[in-house]
C-alpha cells in the first residue's frame, strides 16, 4: 500500500494473480471506476458497458452478451478476412517511394496506424450495424473524421485533458479557453447525433426486412432491452473500444514483426501453407484460422507485451479485502496489465522479450493461471469483445504478411 498525489488517499498496486482474482472476480462489485474517470469517459464512450457500474452493469452485460457469443464471432471471420484484403489493397495504394529497379516487387513507405484505425472502424461498422463505412478508401466519412479528431496521437491535448479531469472539478475545466475542451465537446455531440441516426436507420431496416440481419445492433434491438438512448450508448462503446483497441494491436504487431524478421518469416510460411498467394480469391473461415497456431501465438505475444489499456484502476466502494490485506472504503486500487504481463516471476527471465514460442506447451503461464495474462482483464468486467478482437487481429495480420514483407522505416526505437 502507498499514498498517491499529495498523500491524499491510500493506494494499492495489485501484483499477484491471487490478488487480481480477488479484485476482478471474487469481490468485483466491491470496486468501481473512479467517478471522475467515468464522467470523462462517458463523453466519448456513452453510458455503456465500460462506464456503468453495479446493477446497471450486470443488466447491460447480460443483454449484450448474446451478440458476442462464440458462434456469432466465428461466423464473422469471413467478413474479417474480406476487410483484411481491403486493408492490404489500401496499403499497396498508399505506398510512397520508387519501385526498386532490381526487383519486380513494389516497395514503399506507409504510415500504418491511420490505415489500421480506418479498417477496424469499417469492420466494427459492418459487424455492429451491417453497414460498411468504407473509410479505408473514403477518409472523408463524417464518423471517421470525428474519431480522427479524438484519437489522433498527435493531438495529445485530449489525454492531458483527461489527466487534469482527475484532479480538478469539470466545471472549472469547462470554462478554460482551451481548444481541447471544445474539440471534445463538439465530437461528443456529433458522435451521439450520428449514432442516433444509425439507430433510427436500423429500426427502419428491421421493419422493412425483419429476417436475415445478424449484426450486433439488430440483435440488441430485437431483444428490446434498451430505449433509443440506450442503443446509442452501446454503439458509442462498441465503436470507440471496438476499433481503437485492435488498430493499436495491429500497429504494434507489424512493428514487432519488422524488428523480428525470423518471426515474420515463420508467420508468413504458416499463412501461405493454408492460403497460398496464387489463390487470388482465397477465403478464410474460423476453422482454417484456428489451424494457424503460430499466428495465434504471435498475436498472443503482441497482446501480452502491448496491452491496449496498460493500466487501470478501481475505487473500493465498501470495506473489503485482497487476500489477507484489509482494503478500506475509498482506497484506490491500481491494476497494471503491462506490469503483470511482463513479470519475470511469471513469464521467466525473458519476460520483456518478444517470443511467440512461449505460448506453446501445457506449462506456459497463461494455462497455469488465467490471471497471469490480464490484457482483457477477467471476471464480470472482462472485455466482452475479446473474441471479436482476437479473430479480427489474426485475420488482419495474416493478410498483411501474406502480401507484404514488413520492414521498419528508419532506425527501430524501443
Segment 274-301 mean pLDDT: 93
Return the higher-pLDDT residue of 412 and 327. Answer: 327
Range among 4-8, 113-117, 124-128, 260-264 rated most confident? 260-264
Residue 235 · residue 217 · CB < 8 Å:
yes
Strand 10-14 and strand 332-335: the pairing is: parallel
Find how far residue 53's CA is from the centre of its chain. Answer: 20
How crowded is residue 71: how many other Cβ atoms within 10 Å of its Cβ? Answer: 8
For cell 473524421, the residue is: 145
Is it the case that residue 214 has pLDDT exceeding 80?
Answer: no
pLDDT digits (tens, 9 = 90+) for 153-188: 555 566 666 666 666 776 776 666 667 777 778 888
- What pLDDT, on the 0 to 100 scale, is given for residue 130? 85
DSSP string, 341-382: TT-HHHH-TTTTS--GGGG-STTSHHHH-GGG--TT--GGGS
* Residue 27 binned pLDDT confidence (cut-offs 50, 70, 90): very high
- What pLDDT, on the 0 to 100 scale, is given for residue 9? 63
Instruction: Please list the alpha-helical segments (H only) found in 210-306.
Output: 216-223, 228-259, 261-274, 286-291, 293-305
Burial of 103 (0-12, 13-18, 19+ CB in 10 A): exposed
Is it the case that residue 152 has pLDDT exceeding 80?
Answer: no
Find how far residue 15's CA is from the centre of its chain. Answer: 23
Segment 309-324 mean pLDDT: 92
Return the higher-pLDDT residue of 346 and 109. Answer: 346
Q: Which of 199, 261, 194, 255 is nearest to 227 (CA)?
A: 199
Residue 290 · residue 297 · CB < 8 Å:
no
Segment 197-201 mean pLDDT: 92
- Which pTM was predicted? 0.89
- What pLDDT, on the 0 to 100 scale, is given for residue 98? 46
Burial of 209 (0-12, 13-18, 19+ CB in 10 A): exposed
Question: Distance (Å, rounded) from C-alpha 391 to C-alpha 396?
Answer: 9
- What pLDDT, on the 0 to 100 scale, is given for residue 20? 95
- What are residue 14's DSSP bridge partners? 335
Residue 230 · residue 52 · CB < 8 Å:
no
pLDDT digits (tens, 9 = 90+) for 39-72: 888 878 888 889 999 999 999 999 899 888 888 8
Return the higher-pLDDT residue of 170 and 223. Answer: 223
Collapse the DSSP code of 4 into the 3-class scheme (helix H, G, I; strand E, B; otherwise coil) and give the result: coil
- What pLDDT, on the 0 to 100 scale, is given for residue 389? 95
Residue 349 · residue 387 · CB < 8 Å:
no
Percent of the chain with pLDDT over 90: 53
Amino acid at each position: 500500500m502507498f499514498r498517491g498525489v499529495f498523500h491524499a488517499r491510500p493506494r494499492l498496486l495489485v501484483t499477484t494473480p491471487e490478488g487480481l482474482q480477488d479484485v476482478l472476480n471474487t469481490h468485483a462489485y466491491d470496486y468501481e471506476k473512479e467517478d471522475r474517470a467515468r464522467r470523462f469517459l462517458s463523453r466519448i464512450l456513452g453510458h455503456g458497458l465500460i462506464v456503468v457500474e453495479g446493477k446497471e452493469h450486470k443488466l447491460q452485460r447480460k443483454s449484450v452478451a448474446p451478440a458476442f457469443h462464440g458462434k456469432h464471432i466465428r461466423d464473422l471471420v469471413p467478413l474479417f478476412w474480406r476487410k483484411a484484403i481491403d486493408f492490404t489493397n489500401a496499403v499497396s495504394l498508399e505506398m510512397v517511394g520508387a519501385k526498386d529497379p532490381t526487383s519486380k516487387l513494389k516497395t514503399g513507405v506507409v504510415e500504418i496506424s491511420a490505415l489500421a484505425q480506418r479498417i477496424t472502424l469499417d469492420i466494427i461498422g459492418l459487424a455492429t450495424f451491417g453497414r460498411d463505412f468504407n473509410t479505408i478508401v473514403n477518409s472523408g466519412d463524417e464518423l471517421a473524421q470525428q474519431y480522427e479528431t479524438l484519437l489522433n496521437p498527435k493531438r495529445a491535448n485530449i489525454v492531458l485533458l483527461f489527466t487534469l479531469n482527475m484532479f480538478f472539478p469539470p466545471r472549472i475545466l469547462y470554462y478554460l479557453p482551451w481548444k481541447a475542451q471544445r474539440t471534445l465537446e463538439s465530437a461528443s455531440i456529433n458522435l451521439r447525433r450520428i449514432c442516433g441516426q444509425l439507430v433510427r436507420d436500423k429500426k427502419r431496416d428491421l421493419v422493412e426486412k425483419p429476417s436475415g440481419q445478424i449484426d450486433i445492433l439488430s440483435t440488441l434491438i430485437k431483444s428490446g432491452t434498451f430505449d433509443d438512448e440506450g442503443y446509442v450508448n452501446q454503439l458509442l462503446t462498441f465503436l470507440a473500444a471496438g476499433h481503437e483497441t485492435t488498430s493499436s494491436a495491429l500497429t504494434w504487431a507489424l512493428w514487432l514483426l519488422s524488428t523480428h524478421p525470423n518471426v515474420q518469416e515463420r508467420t508468413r510460411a504458416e499463412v501461405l501453407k493454408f492460403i497460398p498467394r496464387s489463390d487470388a480469391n482465397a477465403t478464410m473461415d474460423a476453422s482454417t484460422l484456428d489451424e494457424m497456431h503460430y499466428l495465434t501465438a504471435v498475436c498472443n505475444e503482441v497482446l501480452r507485451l502491448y496491452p491496449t489499456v496498460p493500466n487501470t484502476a478501481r475505487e473500493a466502494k465498501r470495506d473489503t479485502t485482497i487476500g489477507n490485506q484489509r482494503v478500506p472504503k475509498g482506497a484506490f486500487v491500481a491494476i497494471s496489465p503491462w506490469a503483470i504481463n511482463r513479470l519475470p516471476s511469471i513469464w521467466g527471465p525473458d519476460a520483456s522479450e518478444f517470443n511467440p514460442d512461449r505460448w506453446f506447451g501445457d506449462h506456459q503461464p497463461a494455462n497455469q493461471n488465467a490471471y497471469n495474462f490480464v490484457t482483457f482483464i477477467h471476471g464480470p468486467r472482462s472485455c466482452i469483445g475479446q473474441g471479436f478482437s482476437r479473430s479480427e487481429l489474426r485475420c488482419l495480420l495474416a493478410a498483411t504478411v501474406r502480401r507484404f514483407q514488413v520492414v521498419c522505416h528508419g532506425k527501430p526505437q524501443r
